[in-house]
Structure 1
């Protein structure tokens, strides 16, 4: 609970500071940094507030996400047994990458490096990208940590079934913190945010593929169920899109030479269909 109070305090105080600095035309390193930090926390707050402003299509997408997750939930045990037939064939390099890249400390090293590069080179587009990366990681990371304690779903490696829960703990209960997947959420948030810098569908597709590896590795190594990773991956899209929309009003630099965004996504859910459709 103390963590929630501290976060609320920062969201209020730093965001106000950032708003004041926006009107200051003198742009030096400190002003840019303070303004960006305000936008980082402002972006987190904006993402958390979006459900209060959702309309028909937004609620439909969330409904598809919920329905798809529940559908995968019914076959999690079968999928877990199925992957045991080939998980030992995955190269160690891919497994190591999947575990290390999605960890919070390594994630913030990458996102912080992107932001600092933009700050010190005075590249507003790169600064904005760093703000988007850090805000998305913070929003997703905090949300999944709270959710783990509330839901308390057993991990596959605990030996319990996918429908086993030990919910409502203030402290994290290891082996009962499977849902959602932090590695999947952080890794795909990064991939999705970085892909916004490029027009080529091949580059975007490559980045999305790389971003999905940590989540899949965690499934293969019995840290998560398939539904954990699927839910977390799609939720990261919700978060990045909402924060990116917020940052549109905070920075002059837009992606892809300032042209209107031509990327859209929708969830598809039906008797023979389940997935995310991306148009770019």
Structure 2
């Protein structure tokens, strides 16, 4: 197990070191002073929001609470297009719920020893490995003095904390029975029930890995087109493993992924919004 752990660490660090080689990033000395409004670098074509970067300090910790409140309040500020997206998410969840039992039966009929071994290797990416990934990439950014990678890791960590808080709250109120203990996808219990059988909705594994995937896809996707493919590909495989292992209904997976995507996009877009207004510099100490 220890050998496997080190192999995964090397796997995580490889793309981190590759991203750290980008020489076009702003150096530490070129970051704006505290309280100054950042301006675009017309020589290197660097936008204001590409200059402002997080570091671990009291302001960063405070921003987690601020962004949690901002994310939770977003539905009260939705407009037409936002409600249309929400309708697609809810409608898709409804269709999946109608076929949840059939999906469960499909995976149960197609269990093999080889697939079981593969899913056992992928499943931890939705639990233990994602925090390790963030930590390894953060250390890589610090050691290589790549502020963009350091910032991206901190944004992923913040998004993960917020999405975890929201999904655990949802589990307290929506007590859906897991498919391992029931063939009825419409079996629910009363809120606050402590029975561990009723912890299916939404999928925490899928939410976790999708949150991390979205953070790096949003931050690095424009400069490195392979990042979203790799990140979302891994997130999709993780969700499939939870279906294969009969730990979640397909609608649990869909909502977990949707929630992780929504939270991370909201957090990152809020950061960019403050950056473009020139007000975000008050929240970062270079």
Scaled by the length of structure 1, what TM-score is found?
Answer: 0.72
The answer to whether 1:225 aligns with 2:249 is: yes
Deviations 1:106-132 (A, max 9, x none): 432322333344356553322321222
State which drifts further: 144-153 or 181-190: 144-153
Structure 1 residues 40 and 125, CA gap change in structure 2 (3 angstroms): farther
Q: Which has the higher contact order (CA 8 A, sep 6+)?
A: 2
Matched, 1:33 2:45: no
After superposition, give the CA deviation of every residue in 1:198-254 in whole Å (9 maximum; x if it has no partner).
3354442232111112211111111100111012112222111100111214568xx
Tell whether the 8 Å contact from 1:156 to 1:223 is kept in structure 2 after alignment.
Answer: yes
Which segment is superposed worse, 221-230 or 193-202?
Answer: 193-202
Aligned to 2:202: 180
TM superposition score normalised by structure 2 = 0.70
2:125 pairs with one of 93, 98, 101: 101
Size of the aligned set, in residue pairs, is 226
Task: Give yes or no for contact 1:152–1:177 (8 Å, CA) kept in 2.
Answer: yes
* Residue matched to 1:195: 217
Partner of 2:87: 63
Name which one, 1 or 2, has greater alpha-carbon Rg: 2
CA contact under 8 A between 2:64 and 2:162: conserved in structure 1? no
RMSD: 2.6
Residue 162 of structure 2 corresponds to: 139
Q: Structure 1's 87 and 193: CA in aligned 2 closer, same or farther, altered over 3 A?
A: farther
> What is the rounded CA distance, in whole Å, between the counterparts of 1:131 and 1:251 in structure 2?
16
In the alignment, structure 1 segments of 5+ residues that lack a partner are 1-20, 253-280
Of the three residues 178, 186, 193, the one matched with 1:163 is 186
Contact 1:97–1:214, Cα closer than 8 Å, also in 2:
no
CA separation of 1:250 and 1:109: change in aligned 2, threshold 3 A: farther
Any stretches of 5+ residues in structure 2 without a counterpart?
1-32, 38-53, 277-286
Instruction: Provide the C-alpha distance between the structure 2 equivalents of 1:109 and 1:98, rounded to a whole number of angstroms.
Output: 14
